A and B are shown apart, each in its own frame.
Chain A
Amino acid sequence: MDTQAKTKVEEKRKTKIRVSGAEAIVRSLLEEGTDLMFGYIGGAIMPIYDVLYSYQDRLQHVMVRHEQGAMHAAQAYARISKKPGVCMSTSGPGATNLITGLADAMLDSTPMVCITGQVGSGLLGSDAFQETDVVGVSMPVTKWNFQITKAEEIPEAVAKAFFIARSGRPGPVLLDITKDAQFAELDYSYEKITQIRSYIPYPKLNLNAVSQAAEIINAAKKPFVLVGQGVLLSGAQKEFKEFVEKAEIPVGSTLLGLSAFPSNHSLFTGMLGMHGNYAPNINTNECDVLIAIGMRFDDRVTGNLKTYATQAKIIHIDLDNAEIDKNVKTDVAIVADAKQALQSLIPLVNSNTHKEWIESFSELRKVEIEKVINKDCNPTSGAIKMGEVINKLSEKTNGEAIIVTDVGQHQMASARYYQFNKTQSLVTSGGLGTMGFGLPASVGAQIAAGDKRDVYAFIGDGGFQMTIQELGTISQLNLNVKIILLNNNFLGMVRQWQDMFNEKRYAYTELTNPDFITIAKGFGIEGKTISNREDIDKTLNDLITHKGPFLLEVKVEKEANVFPMVPAGGTVSEMILE
């Protein structure tokens, strides 16, 4: 060995320090840029928490009230901060409580690194106290997972976890670490991982496919673009806008794609799918070219696949090759990051106009305004509608706030009536449709937003009660979360289906609710209930200027239905208006 190489090796050896596995975990998290994490302490993870105690100045830990809350908070934090969400819990029940959040993050492609404690390696498989096969249980809902049984494995495992979570199509990963591996010492040094042989996060761009796509787009008379969360994840908002403006193509958005493209842009036609807008659904079956970018043709978007856009040529741009031809057969597929694909596509598409085609959306929009939107947003009699509250808040905040939702009718109303004029503005549970997502998610969203942006959480009375304990977290941290509880004393979306498809047989959907304001007060959170239309305006003004957490309960119409609607498995162009 020559002297130079020798010195290098020695230098490297010098940088190794002797630490416990628990400390190695914390140091590795810091190496990956983690400065905030969510979690819940318990027996098998105590050694790591003991280290966290000494690292509080560098790594903040948010102690939630239930592990599921830690997951949703970390997911929301990831979506707003664009950093992987980090979540920690103990073994057994602590770990199984993460599963809903993992499944949610898996379906919604959210980068997450979860660390669970595990019983000592000598006890594995012995049904020890709080032992669960977490690697086995979480396998279908993680992009990757791994059990650490030796302290020496820690640096590489953490580096791999972060690399996998945030690269390619992002997703959740889980590291399960036995208690003895947390106690044992290792010679610690850290190196980031940027390559795994069996993993190609960014495949080589097929330029041939790009030029084929451009050719089809240039020849199109009635092109239509679908924008999905992939555009947000790749940070391709600028390129996306440039692309649709250059070729003048109207845009429909998936639920998770909302805020990738401004709602007030003249080419924006609304949300796709079951409770989306009328024009983009009807015209899905009228367009001659459908260009889907960073979306996966979820069944809530497509309805019946046999009748979905069969007249159109399909161009699908997605980073995940397994999404290509999964639901909708494509004519041209570009397996690439949205930004990279758009950068090479833009120079090849012609500047164009599609005046008549765009007008056809406006005509359909007029129908929806008359039949649905006016009734939802500008009612003059009867109980308060969800739509008018959301629409009012949208006007008052200029469509620039961060909106967090739970799941159900209020979620669809929020997606429909909040104008997302600023990017990265909606945090919602899309693929999994997790009731109880909203309140903990508002914790993570608010922490990520800091004092830069305001966070409003629209939540229904059903979902609110699923994770209501996180009011404790909000209160303890005095987070500036404005909760707008749209209370109809029903599991509204299910009740709507019972109304439409089960002859109003309201099986177990009506709720006898507690006094939510008293509950909030118990947590030290101020609150107010309104049920009259004339109070909306002033109350929202007060809410906007209020400092600190606030619960605004709005008693809304009990049996209102969300329209328009494509019934499950129905044809998108046969969307019903009332």
Chain B
Amino acid sequence: MEKEFTLSIFTENKIGVLQRITGIFTRRHINIDSMIASESEVKGVYRFTIVVNCSLDLIKKVHKQIEKQIGVLKAFYFTNKEIVYQEIALYKVPTKSFSHGNDVENLIRNHNAHILTVEPDYIIIEKAGHKDETQELFNKLLPYGILQFARSGRVAVSKQIKEITAYLRDLEEASLYSEKELLLNNK
């Protein structure tokens, strides 16, 4: 059975890591629903957040393949219950759409959106939320005219207790251990 999973992938900041990760999905014919990347709380460590729809069995296999890539420090997969997540959407609407009473103003208030900038021709509205929430505002703004609409990929933090800094310490130790083994086997 297919389900929505969010992957949090921590990597070194190296050219090509992204391509290695996306290749794992491409090869298995899995479509990526959303993806973002930026530096994490640890300097030099990047966090990729990828949303996919697939079976639990498949996400487990994909997760192992991702962790196998050199340059990937740690990867996790979560169901939506295990994370707090958010997306951001920007709506560019004509300024004249505000001239019909206070309909649009009410929409902004009711949806917890806010205005970023006002120009003579257009106004930019920003809303953060889950996809269905940003979509709902989109649908409601549509009759007033939308010049542009852009939605970000999902950002997510996990509810789990152990943080990436702790995992990184484990990794340092584990990769050191492997050095000992290497010498032991004299390979």
**Chain A interfacial positions (CB closer than 8 Å to B):** 135-136, 139-140, 143-147, 164, 166-168, 194-204, 234-235, 320-322, 324-326, 337, 339-340
Q: Give me 14 A-to-B residue pairs in the complex whose CB atoms sit less than 8 angstroms apart, sorted by A's number.
A: A139-B16, A139-B19, A144-B70, A194-B182, A195-B178, A197-B12, A197-B171, A197-B172, A198-B72, A199-B178, A200-B177, A202-B181, A202-B182, A326-B64
Q: Does B43 contact A (CB under 8 A)?
A: no
**With contact pairs A196-B70, A337-B185 given, residues A135 and B16 touching in the complex (Cβ less than 8 Å):** yes
In Å, the complex CA distance between A146 and B69 comes to: 13
In Å, the complex CA distance between A84 and B44 comes to: 32
Q: Which residues of B contact A203 (CB under 8 A)?
A: 174, 178
Q: Which residues of A contact B187 (CB under 8 A)?
A: 166-167
Q: Which residues of A contact B71 (CB under 8 A)?
A: 198
User: Considering only CB atoms, which chain A residue lies closest to B183 in the complex?
Assistant: A194
Interface string of B1-40 (1 = CB under 8 A from A): 0000000000110011001100100010000000000000
User: Considering only CB atoms, which chain B residue lies closest to A166 in the complex?
Assistant: B187
Q: Which residues of A contact B155 (CB under 8 A)?
A: none
In Å, the complex CA distance between A326 and B63 comes to: 11
CB < 8 Å: which of B68, B72, B183 contacts A321? B68
**With contact pairs A147-B15, A167-B182, A339-B185 given, residues A198 and B70 touching in the complex (Cβ less than 8 Å):** yes
Q: Which residues of A contact B23 (CB under 8 A)?
A: 139-140
Q: Which residues of A contact B182 (CB under 8 A)?
A: 167, 194, 201-202
Q: Does B175 contact A (CB under 8 A)?
A: yes
CB < 8 Å: which of B20, B168, B171 contacts A200? B171
In Å, the complex CA distance between A79 and B177 comes to: 27
Chain A binding surface SS class: loop
- Asked if B73 and A202 sit within 8 Å, CB to CB, the answer is no
Q: Closest CB of chain B to A291's CB: distance in Å?
A: 21
A-B pairs with beta carbons under 8 A, tally = 83
Q: Which residues of A contact B181 (CB under 8 A)?
A: 201-202, 337, 340
In Å, the complex CA distance between A164 and B72 comes to: 14
Q: Which residues of B contact A325 (CB under 8 A)?
A: 60-61
Residues from 84 to 112 in B contacting A, C-beta threshold 8 Å: none
Q: Closest CB of chain A to B90's CB: distance in Å?
A: 31
- Asked if B12 and A200 sit within 8 Å, CB to CB, the answer is no
CB < 8 Å: which of B27, B67, B70, B175 contacts A195? B175
In Å, the complex CA distance between A167 and B65 comes to: 17
- Asked if B179 and A194 sit within 8 Å, CB to CB, the answer is yes
B-side interface residues, number (CB < 8 Å):
33
- Asked if B67 and A321 sit within 8 Å, CB to CB, the answer is yes
Most buried by B among A164, A196, A198, A202: A198
In Å, the complex CA distance between A194 and B185 comes to: 13
- Asked if B177 and A202 sit within 8 Å, CB to CB, the answer is yes
**With contact pairs A147-B15, A200-B171, A200-B174 given, residues A322 and B20 touching in the complex (Cβ less than 8 Å):** no
Q: Which residues of B contact A326 (CB under 8 A)?
A: 61, 64
Q: Which residues of A contact B19 (CB under 8 A)?
A: 136, 139
- Asked if A139 and B15 sit within 8 Å, CB to CB, the answer is no
In Å, the complex CA distance between A514 and B71 comes to: 50
Q: Which residues of B contact A340 (CB under 8 A)?
A: 181, 185
In Å, the complex CA distance between A325 and B69 comes to: 18
- Asked if A200 and B61 sit within 8 Å, CB to CB, the answer is no
CB < 8 Å: which of A135, A145, A202 contacts B178? A202
In Å, the complex CA distance between A149 and B71 comes to: 19
What are the 10 A-B residue pairs with the smallest beta carbon separation, nearest first? A202-B181, A322-B64, A202-B178, A194-B179, A144-B70, A198-B73, A200-B174, A322-B68, A201-B178, A199-B70
Most buried by B among A164, A199, A326: A199
User: Considering only CB atoms, which chain A residue lies closest to B73 in the complex?
Assistant: A198
CB < 8 Å: which of A146, A195, A198, A320 contacts B11? A198
Q: Which residues of B contact A234 (CB under 8 A)?
A: 185
Q: Which residues of A contact B68 (CB under 8 A)?
A: 320-322
- Asked if B67 and A145 sit within 8 Å, CB to CB, the answer is no
**With contact pairs A198-B171, A200-B171, A202-B181 given, residues A164 and B61 touching in the complex (Cβ less than 8 Å):** no
In Å, the complex CA distance between A168 and B187 comes to: 10
Q: Does B176 contact A (CB under 8 A)?
A: yes
In Å, the complex CA distance between A136 and B73 comes to: 21
Most buried by A among B68, B73, B183: B68
Q: Closest CB of chain A to B71's CB: distance in Å?
A: 5
User: Considering only CB atoms, which chain B residue lies closest to A167 in the complex?
Assistant: B182
Q: Which residues of B contact A136 (CB under 8 A)?
A: 19
Q: Closest CB of chain A to B44's CB: distance in Å?
A: 10
Interface string of B144-185 (1 = CB under 8 A from A): 000000000000000000000000100110111111011101
- Asked if A200 and B70 sit within 8 Å, CB to CB, the answer is no
**With contact pairs A140-B27, A143-B70, A144-B70 given, residues A199 and B61 touching in the complex (Cβ less than 8 Å):** no
In Å, the complex CA distance between A234 and B23 comes to: 29
- Asked if B15 and A198 sit within 8 Å, CB to CB, the answer is no
In Å, the complex CA distance between A196 and B180 comes to: 13
Q: Which residues of B contact A166 (CB under 8 A)?
A: 187
In Å, the complex CA distance between A289 and B67 comes to: 30
